Amino acid sequence: MVNFSDFEKKIKITFKDKNLLMQAFTHRSYINENGGTILTHNERLEFLGDAVLELIVTDFLYKKYPNYTEGELTAIRSALVNAVIISEVASDVGMNEYLLLSKGEAKDHGKARQYILANTYEAVVGAVYMDQGYETAEAFITKTLLQKTDEIVKKKLWRDAKSLVQEKAQEFVEVTPMYKVLNEAGPDHDKHFTVGIYFAKDLIAEGKGKSKQEAEQKAAEAALKVRNWVD
Task: Summarize the confidence of residues 83-103 as an average pLDDT.
Answer: 90
- The fold of 5-154 is Ribonuclease iii, N-terminal Endonuclease Domain; Chain A (1.10.1520)
Q: Which CATH architecture has domain 161-226?
A: 2-Layer Sandwich (3.30)
For the chain, the structural domain boundaries read: 5-154, 161-226
Greater pLDDT, 139 or 211:
139
The overall average pLDDT reported for the chain is 90
Cite the active site residues. 50, 122
The CA distance from 201 to 141, in Å, is 46
Are residues 195 and 180 in contact, defined by beta-carbon separation less than 8 angstroms? yes
Reported as a single tens digit per residue, the pLDDT across 24-67 is 999 998 888 887 667 789 999 999 999 999 999 999 999 999 99
Predicted local confidence at residue 106, as pLDDT: 76
Rounded to two decimals, the pTM is 0.72
Predicted local confidence at residue 110, as pLDDT: 67
* 183 Cβ contact partners less than 8 Å away, ≥ 6 residues apart: 193, 194
Query: If pLDDT is split at 50, 70 and 90, which confidence band does 154 have?
Result: confident
The CA distance from 189 to 229, in Å, is 35
